[in-house]
Each structure stands twice: as structure tokens, then as C-alpha cells.
A and B are shown apart, each in its own frame.
Chain A
Amino acid sequence: MPSTNTQETIIAQGVKVEGDFRSDGDVVIDGEVSGTVETEKFLRIGETARIKADVKAKSAVIAGEVQGNVTVHEMLELLATSRVKGDVATARISVAAGAQVNGRLSMDGSANSEEE
């Protein structure tokens, strides 16, 4: 059997993605992305990531910079180094001390109703 999950996408430092990026599996971003990012599973945005895109995921952990709206259907975790400039819609959220959010936060189920 392969030793890694082949469905996992990794966008590391030194790589730039432009356009509508969509994945069926887990996504890890440490590089640059502009456009839109969408995954049906887990999304991790690392400290070095620079994202100018609307982001949609089932669950997400953000440690880097996001300029765009963030929609998460289940759990969103904002770590101390995260900086979000945009509206956030999620079912559940955890915000660490030091995290920056500049935008509206809605937890009224709109993230899930959008999916339906």
C-alpha cells in the first residue's frame, strides 16, 4: 500500500496557485494562492501561506494570512498567528489569543445552508 494518502494536496512554499482550486481530499497550504479554494474535507493553512481567495472547506485550521471570505461547514480553528480579512461563516469556531479577524462572523448555520 502507498505510504501516504494520495488524495492529499500540498501547496508548499515556493509554489503559487492561481484560479479555481478544488479538491476532494485534504488540503495543506503553505504557499501562495489566489482565486478560490474549495475542499470537501479538511483544510490547513500554514503560517507561511498567503491566500487571496474565497475559501470553502468542511473543517479548517488557519495559521496564516487569508484575504477573502471563509466558509467552513463544521469546525474552524484560528491559531494565534492567523490573520483573516473577510467574512467568516462557520458552525463552530475556536479563536486563539492573538488571532486577527477583520470582517463579519456568522454562526447561524449559513455555512451549511449554502451547501444545501
Chain B
Amino acid sequence: MYCYLYDEYIQQNKRYERELLKIENRLTDLGIAGKISRLALFRNAEEMIRDEIQRGVQTVVVLGNDETVRKVIDVVADCEVVLGIIPIGPGNELARMMGIPEGVAACDILSARRIETIDVGTVNGRRFVTGLSVPDFHAELTCEDQFRITSTSRRAALEIRNLADVADPCDGKFEAVIRAAVKTGWGIFGRKVFKESVFPMKSLAIRSDDPISLFVDGEEMTSTRFDIGIEPMFLRVITGKARVF
């Protein structure tokens, strides 16, 4: 049984009306049509999905973008149902990496049901699929309680990657990537180049004296402490042949 979850911005924007109609027709043709639920400002997405799962839904399909996936990821992962995506509109990096084309073409991918189980990252108990970034990184990383990493450069950025073009989301680890500006050459002929450090790991703590901003799947979080971990092979997703992993 399938449940289709429409994000609010799709319902409000008239330019998606025709695309939605095509998608609904294609899903019916393929025999995978299901109940349609609509996200709204004061409607709890988690509660809605839990109700549907209790009624026997085994696949939750999100019509929207990365932000829509973020709203449902906790409940979908906890309830061990399969997650599908029909990407509509901008901000669909996750769908691209999973090899799912935009709009009506995604229906055929859903119908093929190529299911992969992937790792899910956590930051302060909050789950993420793709990764997170700290654009202005001046903190200390403690890795698996064994060693500390600091940047000796004034300009540095931190990125944690779980699912990315160069990161495997099925290996039980995430990658911590630090890009630090390093001066090369002498005197006025010197120039700054960014050098990339890569650490594959299972857990990581970020500590800072001043509050730092971190962007999780595009959303901002601010704190002086972040604990990052990984839940290996935790989320079942429908993917296409063109997936990056």
C-alpha cells in the first residue's frame, strides 16, 4: 500500500497543477496509486504518517523536495517503511543522488521498486540523509573519543557527508571534510589555496566556546555543542539506476 504526501508549496503553486495531474494519472496506470495526504502549516506530518502506517501503508512517497523529506524522515525511519520521492520544483539534491528524475518520470522508478538500505546521520538526535556543513569553522572536533582535530588556518569550512557524489551511504560511516585555506608561494606572490582533509568516522563531537551555526540538509542550527553519529543501514529508499552510490 502506498501513501502520497504532498508538500504545501505544491498545492499553493498553480504551475505544478498540470504536473500533479500527469503524475496522478501515471500512478493509476502503473497500479500504484494510493491515499493522498497533504502537508499544511498546522498539521503534524509525523502524526499523519503514523496513522497511515497503522492502516497498513508500507511505502510513503513524498511529493516535494529535500525539505519535505526532512519533515518525514524521523517517522519513516522509525516505522521501518520504505521512502519514495517524486521530486517537484527546486531543491531536489537528494532525489538527484538517488537517481530519481523530476516529475512524472519518477513514477516509473517508483513502480520498479529498486530498494536500497542506507545509513542515516544524526546531529544532536536529529536525523539527516545527505549531510551538514559549517561554513565558518573555528571549533574543535573530538573523534570517537580518541583524537582531536583543529584547523590551524584562519579560514576553514567543515562538511559532514553521508550521501554525496563521493561518499558511500552504505558503509556505516560518514566523512568529515575540512577545507582549510593555506598560503602557497612567498611574499606578494603567495596565494591562498584550499586543502581538503577527509576523515571517515562513526561519531564526532564539535565543541566551541562561541555558538556556531551549522546547516543540516539546508536548515540552520546554532549551538556550542554538536554530537554527530550514524545509524547504519537504517532507511529503506526507492532508488533509480542513475543513483550515485
Contacts and interface: CB of A to CB of B under 8 A. Distances in A.
Contact of B147 (A8, A10, A35): A35
Interface string A1-13: 1111011111111
Contacts of B245: 1-2
B200 A7 contact: yes
Nearest to A18: B148
Contact of B181 (A8, A10, A14, A30): A14
Nearest to A24: B200
A9 B182 CA distance: 19
Interface residues of B, number: 28
Secondary structure call for the B interface: strand
Contacts of A14: 151-153, 156, 178, 180-182, 195, 197
B168 interface: yes
Interface residues of A, number: 26
A13 B180 contact: yes
B181 A6 contact: no
Given A13-B195, A14-B182, A3 B166 contact: yes
A15 B197 contact: yes
A54 B195 CA distance: 25
Interface of B: 146-153, 156, 165-168, 171, 173, 175, 178, 180-182, 195-200, 244-245
27 contacts: A2-B167, A2-B168, A3-B165, A3-B166, A4-B166, A6-B167, A6-B173, A6-B175, A10-B196, A12-B197, A14-B153, A14-B178, A14-B180, A15-B151, A15-B178, A15-B180, A15-B197, A16-B151, A17-B147, A17-B148, A18-B147, A18-B148, A18-B150, A19-B148, A21-B147, A22-B146, A32-B152
